[in-house]
Amino acid sequence: MMKRKLVWKFGAFVLAGLAFVGLRSALGDEHDKVILRFDTMVGDPGPSSSLNMERGFAGAGAPWTILRSARGELRSDGTLKIHVSGLVIPPPTLNNSNPVAEFRGALSCQDPNNLNNSQIFFTDPFPATMGVGAGNSDIDGHVQLPDTCFAPLIFVTSAASTGNPNGVWFAVTGFSPASFTQNDDNDNQ
What is the residue extent of each domain of the chain?
1-30, 34-186
**Report field, pTM of the whole predicted structure over 0.85:** no
Quote the CA–CA distance of 155 and 153 in Å, as a whole number.
Answer: 7
Average pLDDT, the chain: 83
What's the average model confidence in pLDDT over 40-60?
89
- Residue 157's pLDDT band (cuts 50, 70, 90): very high
> pLDDT over 70 for what percent of the chain?
77
- The tens digit of pLDDT for each residue in 53-75 reads 888 888 999 999 999 999 999 99
Which carries the bigger pLDDT value, residue 48 or residue 69?
69
Q: What are the CA-CA distances from residue 109 to residues 13, 142, 180 (Å)? A: 46, 15, 26
Q: Which of 79, 67, 55, 81 is nearest to 183 (CA)?
A: 67
